[in-house]
Every structure is written in C-alpha cells, then in structure tokens.
Chain A
Amino acid sequence: METERIEAPRAPSALAGAGFKPRLRTIGVALFVAAYLAATALVARSDLGVQSLVLVAAVFGILAISLDLVAGMLGLYSLGQGGFFAIGAYFTTIVVNSLGWNVFLVLLIVLAVAGVTGLAVGAMSLRVSGLYFAITTFIFTLVLTVLATDLKITGGLQGLLGPAFPDFPGGLEALGTPVAWCVMLALLLCIGFVWSIRQSPLYPVLLSIRDAERFAEAAGARTSLIKIGVFGVSAAMAGGAGWLFSFLGVVSPGQFDWAVSLNILVMVLIGGINTTPGPVIGAAFVSMFPALVNINPWVQEMVYGALSILAVTLLPGGVMSLLKRVAALGGGAASEAEPAVSAFGGTDAPVEAGLFRKFAAGSAGAARAGVPEPEYAVECRGIQFSYGTGLKVLRDVDLAVKRGHIHGLIGPNGSGKSTLANVIAGRLQPLAGATLIKGVRVDGASPSKRAKLGMRRTFQAAELVRELTPIQNVMVGLFDLMPRIIQRAAFWPFLPSGRRDLAWMEGRSREALEMVGAGAWVGRAVGDVPHGVEQLTQLASVCVAGPDIIILDEPATGLSAREVDHLAEILTHLKAQGVTMIIIEHQTRFLFPICDRVTVLNAGEVILTGTADEVRAHPVVRQVYLGE
C-alpha cells in the first residue's frame, strides 16, 4: 500500500507567527526572577525575626508545592509529606552533628533517601487507589512520628538542635545571611520546576492520568510507573525542605506529625490546588497567620480551624480561583464568539480530504518500510474470559481483522463486545486464547505496550480531561511519539528543542481537530463543549498519532443523525489512508454501509462473521439482534 509518510516529530510545521508570545513570556520570566532576587536580598539583610518568619514560610512553600505536584496534577492526596519532611530534617541533623559531613553532600543523600522512600511508599500504596492512598501515606507519617518520639537517636520529644549553615566565602558577606539565600533560591527552583512542567506536554498527560487513566494508558503512557515516579520526586522535594528546615532551629517530633501533613494540604487548598502560585500563597498565609493575629494561642487555633473549614467549603478553588474571577471581571468581554451548537459546531462544509493524508496509518510512527505487512491487523484465537469466577463472558471467540478493513462488531447488550475490545486493547487479560497484533503475539502485554505497536482506541463514554482544551487533550495522544517528554519536562520552556517540539505537537493536534471538523472549538475547555465535539476530540486524539489500528467503542452513541453522517465520512477517509478499524456499534444503519466485514456476538460467542449483506440476511441475526 502506498501511503505518504510525513517525516514526523522532527518537522516544525506550525512555527510561523509563533515568535511573539514566547518572547513576551521570556521578558516576564526575567522580570519575575529579578524581582524575586531583589526581595531575597532584602530578606537576607533584615533582622532575625522577619527572617525566620519568611524562611519558615518559604520552607512550607516548598512542601506545599511538593504536595500540589501529586495532589493537583495526579489527584494523589498524600498525607505523607510530613513524614518525608521529617526524614530530611532528622537525617541532616543527625549526620551533620555527629559526623560533620559537608551539608551539600548531605543534601544529595537526603534527596536520594527521601526519594527512594517515596518510591517504596508509592509502589506499596498505589496498589490501592484514591482514599486508601491518603490513608496509607497518613499511616506512614504516624509511624515516623512515633519513631522520632521513641528512638534515642532522635532526642525524643525535646528533639535535637539543628546544625549551623556554613558561612559565605570571603567577599560575599555583604549579601546577608547565607541560609536565607539558600532557602529562597531553593523555593525559586521548585517554583520554576512545577512551572516548567505546567508548560510542557507532560502536563496534559499527568492530568489525563488523574481524570481519565484509561485514556492515558491507551495513548501509551505507563501510568502506574509515572504515578510512582512523580510521587518519588515529590517525596525528594519534601525531604529537601526538611534539609533546609534543620538549619532554622530545633527539630522535634511535633513539627512533623500528621497534623502538619494536613496543614500542608490546607495550604494547597487555601491557595488554589493545581496552580503554580497557589501553594506558595497558601503556605505564606498559614505559616505567618499566628504571627499576624497574635492573640491567645487557643483562640488563635480555633480561628485557624474555622478559617480552614470556611476556605474549603466556600472557596473550593482557593485564592487563585478568586483572583482569576476578579481578573475575568476586569478583562471583560474578550470572550470568543460561541460556535454554532448545531452538528459539530456547524461543520457543514465537506470534510477536507487533503488533511487526512497527514494522518495516514503509520504517518507519525517509526518508519517500517521494507518489513512485509501481515495480512491480518488483529487476530484473536480462542479467547475465553470471565469476570472473577463468574459466568464466562467470552467463550472461545475467534476474530480476524484484515489490514485496511473496517470491521464491525455487533451484538445485543451484554454479548461481550466491549469486553472483547478491552481484551484486544490489553485492559483485560483473557483466561485462555491468543491475541495477535500485526502478526505478533501480544498476550499479557499492557495497553501502553500495545499502543506502541500502533494501536489506539476510543471509549464508550469519552475519557478526557474536562478542564483542558481539546488541543491539550489531543496532545496526550502524541505522548509516545515524542521522545523524552518526561526527562525534559522539568526545564521544558528553557530548551530550544522543547519550544520547537511543543509548537509541532500543538500544530499537529490542531490539524487533527480540524480534520475531524472540530476546529472551531479548540479554544475552550472540554467541559464546556457539546457531547458531539467531545466525541470528535476523542477521535482526534486517536488519529493524531497516525495509528495503524483503531478500536472505536460505540462512536455514534448520542450523536444526531447529521453528526453520524459526518462521522461516517471521517471514517471512510481514514480507511482510504490505510487505517484498520474495529467498530463496536448498535446503529447498523451507520455501521453496515462502511464495513467490510461484520462479526456478530451473542452471549459471548461468535454467531457469524461475514459481509454486511450476509449478516443482514442471516436468520439467527435477524432473530436475536435485528428483532425481526
């Protein structure tokens, strides 16, 4: 088959006119850093009272950022930050005081120890998700606090006096207190770190792991590994905060107990979860609060309790959401015109055939020229499956999908269609039988591994990140095509290659959305677009990778008649580019005209595979499915 292969990730196609905004951003970043350094100099030369207030707030700022990294971007509400914080502080104090090692060497060790502990805790507690993750990390902090209280080496309840921070080398004394510079620069580094991640293509991937894990998995992301890895980074960051904290005075168990972990969460929620400035604002407010009100300590604690209740009940988005709302009021009426809500935003114009060539099968993948293409794209042999020990949902199912075909999969509700799709995509492992993708056996391979073979899928209920734009969602689909996204995410906007690749990814995602006819909706959040556009975004996020095989799970559900026609046209164009498709669908009027072959399932068994006409004529099918 002759398909035009676009030289992918290298070609910067959509760079024209993109030079202005980055330059403005560079100036903004430079101004911010300059102002920050000036403020640091001011703090470093001010009196000790002010200094300790600001520095403690900055340490908690780092802790809040470390929590927001996992809670905001991945939805993992860790109550273990206090524990990692304690590891950093106690380790530094004990090692520096008793062995006298260089503090910066100790920092490296602390980062490694806290990070590895984080990986271990993460690997263990992510077996159980959601609330259980919070509970397990909570227990981790409980246990560490008990250890710190009861061990001899940690000085019991009184704690230990932290080590002294080394002085500046000669000539730099005019800068003020060295530890102030160290703390403030560390905070700046952490702010820069999360800011870079938010600018990088990793950000939509992380959010999709949080909100739509199956989608991220199907796009080739190894979601559990990413979760554990990010949690390890967050733990290292909290350990680093402990290292800084040990230079600020006494280290004792009360400073790390579970209430501290929850206070860090209060900071994140008050400031604004999943924002870059929010955690820092919240940390500054919470840690400076006692000094600001200066009343009876019990009354002050009561006021604090009341404030944290009010913050989470009345202002779930935190201070940042308030600021955004104020800014929106001030910025006023610059909102875009609403695209017509008719079929797919009024895309009555014929689908633009030219665009499809860019998304032909294998167009963005590795060059596979010379390798003889197998006859069958997907083969299932003797698949058996049941949920738990219950009834067999699939019984000895055989399915062979020829390369370049559109293969329909029909059957009554509960006949095992979606289960079969999940088995092919790797989400479910069959009890018996073999699955082959392009002639290669893939039994036991994870969904992300199968995605790398050029297979993509959509979901019956669209799995997307509702707070991101369609473009950002579609970019998730490019995850496994763009090399080293994770490694580069920490300093993405500062890399020329990062800026170039991001522009390419955005350009290609925009084209994919235009191709499916959702080009008018790229500017708003997916949560605000109509159902049909959501479905198209899902389709675009699949097509953008130029896959060889697409599994579509009830793509026409909930679409209007005109939208269904539009969808059929898109699929026909994709087929012309050599894409193999497996479509699960109930609407035979939509499915039969575009299908090469149709397989009918009933009660977990294949009744028949044939052309649409054969299927339509088959007496059993007429009886059990078409209802005649």
Chain B
Amino acid sequence: MLQFVVSGLAIGAVYGLIGMALAITFYVTRIINFAQGQMMMATVMVTAELYAAGYPTWAAAILGLGCAAVLGVLSYLIAVRPILAFNRFSFGWLVSTLGFAVILENAAAYIWGPTSQAFPSMFEETSFHLFGAVLTGQQLLAISTAAVLTAGFELVRRGTLFGKIGMATAADPEMATAVGVNTTVVAIVAFAASALYAGVAGLLIGPTTFANPYLGDTFGTFGFIAMMIGGGTEKPIAAMFGGLLLGVCAEGANAMINSQASDWFPFIVLVVVLIASPRGLFSAGNLFRSRGRAAAAAEA
C-alpha cells in the first residue's frame, strides 16, 4: 500500500513537472505547447549523447538542459509568436506547435535511430527504507526536486517583480503592454523556464526509461493529463498536485488491478475529474471552493 504511494509520488513528480511546464507557457500565452514533451526528450537525448562521449554526468545534464531551453525559446519564436501576432485568439498554434514537435521527434529519430540508448544513472544502488516501503535514491531525488521547483516557481511568481509582470501578462497582455511590460521578453522567459522544467523531468526519469526519441509523446500526454486533472490552466502549481495524484493513481492501478492498468486507468481518472469539475481539482473556482466568483468573472 505505502509502496505504491511512494513510487506513485516519485513518478507523479515527473508528470507534475511536465504538467507545470505546459501550464507555465499556457499561463502567459494561453496556448498549449504540444512540443513540450519533445523538450524533455531533447534533454534526455543530448545528455545521453554527451555522457557517451565522455563528459561527466553533471556537465552532460547541464548542457542537455541548456539545449532544451534554446529549443523552448525557438518554439516560441517560430511556432507561437507569428500566430499570436496575427490574431491573439486564433487556433493556428494547435497546428504549428504540433509541427514543431513532429520536427524535433523525427530529427532525433533521424540522428540517433529509433532504439533506446543508455542513460547515466545518478544514485546507483542507494535505497532507503521507510515504514516498510523502499525508496530508491532516484525516487527521493525526483520528489525533492519537484518540491523545490514547485516552491521556487510560486515564490518567483508571488514575490518578485518579474513574477508580477508575468501575472499581469497572463491576465491581459494588451493592458500589460500598455503599462510598459515587454510581453515578448516575458513569453521568452516563460518558454525557456518551461523547457527547463520539462528537461529536469527528463533527467529524473531518464535512468528508468533510457534515452528514446519517442519519449516525448508518452510523457507529453501524461503531463497534459496532470495539468488537466490539477487545473493547471488556471494555476500552474495545481498541475504539480495533479501530477502527484496521477502518479499515485497509475501506480495504484498497477498494484491493485493488473500490470497494464496504468496504460488506461489515468484516462478514466481524467474523464471523471473533468465531468465532476471541468476546471480541475486544485484550481480556484472548483467543486470545493466557491463557484460564485468564477460565474461573475465569466459574465463580466
């Protein structure tokens, strides 16, 4: 029982980080970056490649993250900005961010081939015993990293001027521009940061999954589910809670139903959550808090 909760939290932390990555860009630009999973994949591939070439693990990881950040900014400049500049409410980004994902995924498959490659593990053979459950060093690292990054995001958002500028841009980009905010810079920073979050998720899960060009698809989808369950479209940190819940549900399904159940059980959770509370479980305006405010906002 406790075992699947613990391992669920560990994998859920990874889903949550990708969910937060999706939510951060959504927060600032109101678009969903379908290439987010591919940022994670790129980090994993580049790190594995550099490690194989003889770099120390930490250097390979940092360069891999840097690569993801660059790709994140490129995805904004190439696939998002031109469309929002033409019409802020158009849906062309559905197509262009998917196009960007297709390019990244197939470029990786072209360069490295479709098979998996070795990925450096960070805490070999370390494990802790906790009330009868076993927690590997890697899992502990995942949970603690996710906690630090989630808290860090919230601190920056609430406590710094840049965070407030981000909130202003999220609420009304035109108004933010009018008071002197450079929304392009805000968006670039948001896309770089979200790519970093996705990249960190990749580093945390890489030792388990190994490096594969198609990683982005699966984890992108689960990150998306995490965001929707949690309600990350309204509040990015809600995506992390959604991810943790999702991880526990998936591991729980594996333990209780059968070993394939984690393939489909999360989708059932998602559908049930969305029917009960379309805005997600941990956002404002959900089932457990007042609906009045949301209704008033919708009418105004």
Chain A residues 264 to 318 lying within 8 A of chain B, measured CB to CB, are 265-266, 269, 296, 298-299, 301-302, 304-309, 311-314, 316
B56 within 8 A of A: no
Given known A-B contacts A128-B278, A387-B296, A388-B296, A302 and B96 have beta carbons under 8 A apart: no
The chain A residue with its CB closest to the CB of B26 is: A131
Chain B residues 86 to 106 lying within 8 A of chain A, measured CB to CB, are 86-87, 90-96, 98-103, 105-106
Cβ distance B14 to chain A, nearest Cβ, rounded Å? 19
Given known A-B contacts A388-B293, A389-B292, A309 and B99 have beta carbons under 8 A apart: yes
Binds B, one of A8-16, A141-149, A169-177: A141-149
Verify A304–B102 contact, CB threshold 8 A.
yes
B131 within 8 A of A: no
The listed residue (B30, B103, B267) touching A142 by CB distance below 8 A is: B267
Please give, as numbers and ranges, the residues of chain B lying within 8 Å of A305 by CB-CB distance: 98-103, 106
Cβ distance A531 to chain B, nearest Cβ, rounded Å? 21
Chain A residues 117 to 148 lying within 8 A of chain B, measured CB to CB, are 124, 127-128, 131-132, 134-136, 139, 142-143, 146-147
* Assembly CA distance A559 to B30 (angstroms): 36
Please give, as numbers and ranges, the residues of chain A lying within 8 Å of B87 by CB-CB distance: 316
Cβ distance B36 to chain A, nearest Cβ, rounded Å? 14
Cβ distance A431 to chain B, nearest Cβ, rounded Å? 13
Verify B100–A309 contact, CB threshold 8 A.
yes
The listed residue (A131, A299, A309) touching B30 by CB distance below 8 A is: A131
Chain B residues 214 to 238 lying within 8 A of chain A, measured CB to CB, are 221, 228
Verify A269–B221 contact, CB threshold 8 A.
no
Which of B99, B279, B293 gathers the greatest number of chain A CB atoms within 10 Å? B99
The listed residue (A149, A299, A308, A389) touching B98 by CB distance below 8 A is: A308
Verify A309–B86 contact, CB threshold 8 A.
no
Total number of residue pairs linking A and B with CB closer than 8 Å? 121
The listed residue (A127, A302, A311, A313) touching B110 by CB distance below 8 A is: A302
Cβ distance B227 to chain A, nearest Cβ, rounded Å? 10
Verify A77–B94 contact, CB threshold 8 A.
yes
Verify B271–A77 contact, CB threshold 8 A.
no
Please give, as numbers and ranges, the residues of chain A lying within 8 Å of B110 by CB-CB distance: 296, 298-299, 302
Chain B residues 47 to 103 lying within 8 A of chain A, measured CB to CB, are 78-79, 82-83, 86-87, 90-96, 98-103
Given known A-B contacts A150-B263, A316-B86, A387-B296, A308 and B109 have beta carbons under 8 A apart: no
Given known A-B contacts A139-B228, A150-B260, A150-B263, A302 and B102 have beta carbons under 8 A apart: yes
Please give, as numbers and ranges, the residues of chain A lying within 8 Å of B105 by CB-CB distance: 301
The listed residue (A132, A259, A306, A316) touching B278 by CB distance below 8 A is: A132
Verify A301–B267 contact, CB threshold 8 A.
no
B contacts with A: majority SS: helix
Given known A-B contacts A139-B271, A387-B300, A389-B292, A313 and B96 have beta carbons under 8 A apart: yes
Cβ distance A301 to chain B, nearest Cβ, rounded Å? 4
A79 within 8 A of B: yes
Q: How many residues of A contact B (CB 8 A)?
A: 44
Chain B residues 196 to 252 lying within 8 A of chain A, measured CB to CB, are 221, 228
Please give, as numbers and ranges, the residues of chain B lying within 8 Å of A298 by CB-CB distance: 106-107, 109-110
Verify A390–B296 contact, CB threshold 8 A.
yes
The chain A residue with its CB closest to the CB of B30 is: A131
The listed residue (A143, A269, A299) touching B92 by CB distance below 8 A is: A269
* Assembly CA distance A310 to B98 (angstroms): 12
* Assembly CA distance A390 to B83 (angstroms): 38
Cβ distance B174 to chain A, nearest Cβ, rounded Å? 16
* Assembly CA distance A549 to B83 (angstroms): 43
* Assembly CA distance A266 to B98 (angstroms): 10
Please give, as numbers and ranges, the residues of chain A lying within 8 Å of B32 by CB-CB distance: 135
Verify A142–B221 contact, CB threshold 8 A.
yes
Please give, as numbers and ranges, the residues of chain A lying within 8 Å of B274 by CB-CB distance: 136, 139
A116 within 8 A of B: no
Please give, as numbers and ranges, the residues of chain A lying within 8 Å of B101 by CB-CB distance: 305
A262 within 8 A of B: yes
* Assembly CA distance A357 to B296 (angstroms): 43
Please give, as numbers and ranges, the residues of chain A lying within 8 Å of B275 by CB-CB distance: 124
* Assembly CA distance A390 to B292 (angstroms): 9
B264 within 8 A of A: yes
Chain A residues 345 to 390 lying within 8 A of chain B, measured CB to CB, are 387-390
* Assembly CA distance A309 to B221 (angstroms): 21
B148 within 8 A of A: no
Please give, as numbers and ranges, the residues of chain A lying within 8 Å of B96 by CB-CB distance: 308-309, 312-313
Verify B102–A149 contact, CB threshold 8 A.
no
Given known A-B contacts A136-B274, A139-B274, A147 and B95 have beta carbons under 8 A apart: no
Cβ distance B97 to chain A, nearest Cβ, rounded Å? 9
Cβ distance B140 to chain A, nearest Cβ, rounded Å? 31
* Assembly CA distance A142 to B91 (angstroms): 19
Verify B292–A388 contact, CB threshold 8 A.
yes
B295 within 8 A of A: yes
B299 within 8 A of A: yes
Cβ distance B286 to chain A, nearest Cβ, rounded Å? 13
* Assembly CA distance A388 to B300 (angstroms): 10
Chain B residues 174 to 213 lying within 8 A of chain A, measured CB to CB, are none
The listed residue (A79, A136, A149, A301) touching B94 by CB distance below 8 A is: A79
Q: Give per-residue flags for B255-283: 1 if the beta carbon is below 8 A from chain A beta carbons, else 0.
A: 00000100110010011001100110000
The chain B residue with its CB closest to the CB of A270 is: B95
Please give, as numbers and ranges, the residues of chain A lying within 8 Å of B99 by CB-CB distance: 266, 304-309, 312
Verify B103–A302 contact, CB threshold 8 A.
yes
* Assembly CA distance A307 to B96 (angstroms): 9
Chain A residues 459 to 483 lying within 8 A of chain B, measured CB to CB, are none
* Assembly CA distance A59 to B137 (angstroms): 52
Q: Please provide the 3 A-B residue pairs with the shortest distance between their CB atoms, ordered closest to farther.
A: A388-B296, A305-B102, A312-B92
Subset of 16 A-B contacts with CB under 8 Å:
A71-B91, A124-B275, A136-B278, A139-B271, A149-B263, A150-B264, A262-B94, A266-B99, A301-B105, A301-B106, A302-B106, A309-B95, A313-B79, A313-B92, A313-B96, A389-B290
Which A residues lie at the B interface, using CB under 8 A?
Answer: 71, 77, 79, 124, 127-128, 131-132, 134-136, 139, 142-143, 146-147, 149-150, 259, 262, 265-266, 269, 296, 298-299, 301-302, 304-309, 311-314, 316, 387-390, 428
Using A139-B228, A308-B96, A313-B92 as known contacts, list a sample of 16 further A-B pairs with CB atoms less than 8 Å apart, ordered by residue number in A. A71-B91, A134-B94, A143-B267, A146-B264, A147-B264, A262-B98, A266-B99, A301-B106, A302-B106, A304-B102, A305-B99, A305-B100, A307-B99, A309-B79, A309-B99, A388-B293
